[in-house]
Amino acid sequence: MKLRIFLPAAIAALLLAFVLIACDEKKGDKSTDKGAKTVRVATQAGIATSNILLVKVNGYLEEELKNLGVSVRWDSFASGPPMNEAFAAGEEDIGVVGDLPLLLAKASGQKIITFAKDASGEKAVALTVGVNSGITDVAQLKGKKVAFVRGSFGHHLLGLLLNQAGLTFSDIEQINLPNPDIGNAVGSGQADAGVMWEPPLTNSVKNGLTKRLIDGTGIKSNSTFFFTTESFAKDNPEILKAYLRALEKANKFIADDPRKTAELLQSEVRLPVETYAELLKMYNRSSYISDADIAELKAVEQFIRAQKFSETEVDVDKFVDRSFLEAVGITK
């Protein structure tokens, strides 16, 4: 495999998508008429998003919305950028994405709020090196090739690790790669280190390509969040409350029986059941957005501007809306 450094396509896709808002704002608002009869839910297949996938498979949201006469349309996306393009075009109502892409979307002009946390997992994202690597400390990355997904929460974790070691991104050779390709790059020696998250992280370790150097424990919670448009939140509060009640059912199911969860969702996530069940245990699935979560979002927001992804400052305190959580009794 010939390794190459490529442009941050994910970031470009996000920025391009959000330009659509200014050009077609009416189209974006059309989907949020008061008393919506259908809620359009955007999902991604992954370990962190297993709760909303279980909501879909077990019909929890349809059950909660039955008395409101509201139906559900489920849409699946391979990653955050195409999901955000759909939001910019007014084609979705509720989505889920990582902390950095979420704030980048807001900074780029999306009229969105975050109303609940999906999951967090400190051990689910890690800096890895080759199994025979002599690198034992982050400080040894100076002058080395480091692979990561530009614009991801892995990017932010790497920035935090470098800062702790007295380094900056200018001290390393940056290689922007998709998450599934990083393990092979590190294992083949084409990169000296790489930041990746689950499930490629565990797969690369089990396949003897990499070993963990350090994960996010005590450094970054690596959280994903649910978001919706400002207009949908204003016009459809009962739908968001129903959504949160459905999530609570899924979170309890996962905590009580991770193996059964893995069996039910195996066709969605496409992992061996045993591996999937173990990975589920890495995540905390409280929907509540805590003060600590808000503080971390503020740190991510500052990172976005420091990296010049956007010059727009986001007021995180206003961006986070905990009123729907509190309305259904989710307070921690």
Q: Is residue 3 part of a domain?
A: no
- Which H or E run contains 225? strand 223-229
**317 falls within a domain:** yes
Q: Same domain, yes or no, for 70 and 182?
A: no
Indicate whether 112 and 13 sit together in one domain.
yes
Do residues 172 and 124 lie in contact, with contact meaning Cβ atoms separated by under 8 Å? no
Alpha helices in the chain (DSSP H): 9-23, 25-30, 50-58, 60-65, 80-88, 99-107, 153-164, 179-187, 200-206, 230-235, 237-256, 258-269, 273-280, 291-306, 316-319, 323-327
66 lies in the same domain as 127: no
Q: Are residues 117 and 131 in the same domain?
A: no
The CATH number linked to 143 is 3.40.190.10
Phi, psi (rounded to 5 degrees) for 94: -135, 135
- Alpha carbons 103 and 298: distance in angstroms, whole number: 9
Burial per residue of 34-47, b for 16 or more beta-carbon CB atoms within 10 angstroms, e otherwise: eebeebbbbbbbbb
Query: Do 267 and 153 share a domain, yes or no?
Result: no
**By residue range, what is the domain housing residue 178?**
123-215
Is residue 43 a part of any domain in this protein?
A: yes
d(CA 95, CA 206): 32
> Does residue 165 belong to any structural domain of this protein?
yes
Which parts of the chain have pLDDT scores under 50? 1-13, 15-33
104 shares a domain with 54: yes
Give the span between the Cα atoms of 53 and 66, in whole angstroms.
19
Pair (323, 246) in one structural domain = yes
Residue 34, pLDDT score: 66
Do 194 and 94 lie in one domain? The reply is no
- Count of CB atoms situated within 10 Å of the CB of 288: 14
- Report yes or no on 300 lying in a domain: yes
Cα 157 from Cα 105, distance rounded (Å): 19
Distance CA 45, CA 32 (A): 25
Would 4 be classed as within a structural domain?
no
Q: Report if residue 2 sits inside a domain.
A: no
Q: Which residue has the tokens 């100076």?
A: 142
Q: Say yes or no: 226 and 269 in one domain.
A: yes
For 99, 141, 269, 271, 279, the CA distances from 45, given in Å and listed in that order, are 17, 32, 5, 11, 14
Question: For residues 118 and 213, is the Cβ–Cβ distance under 8 A?
Answer: no
325 vs 243: CA distance, rounded Å:
10
What pLDDT, on the 0 to 100 scale, is given for residue 7? 41
Instruction: Encode pLDDT of 160-203 as tens digits.
Output: 999 999 999 999 999 999 999 999 999 999 999 999 999 999 99
* 263 located within any domain: yes
Q: 215, 246, 268: which is the final residue of a domain?
A: 215
| C-alpha span between 102 and 251 (Å, rounded) | 22
- Max distance between CA atoms of the chain, in angstroms, equals 61
The pLDDT value given to residue 10: 47
Question: Could you tell me if 194 and 127 are in contact, meaning their C-beta atoms sit under 8 angstroms apart?
Answer: yes
Secondary structure of 147-210 in HEC code, one letter for each residue: EECCCCHHHHHHHHHHHHCCCCHHHCEEEECCHHHHHHHHHCCCCCEEEEECCHHHHHHHCCCE
pTM of the predicted model, to two decimals?
Answer: 0.86
90, 237: one domain: yes
Amino acid at 110: Q
Among 198, 215, 232, which residue terminates a domain? 215
Query: Which of 192, 215, 238 is at the close of a domain?
Result: 215
114 and 256 within one domain: yes
Residues 210 and 96 grouped into a single domain? no
Residue partners of 244: CB distance under 8 A and separation at least 6: 115, 116, 287, 324, 325, 328, 330
Number of domains in the chain: 2
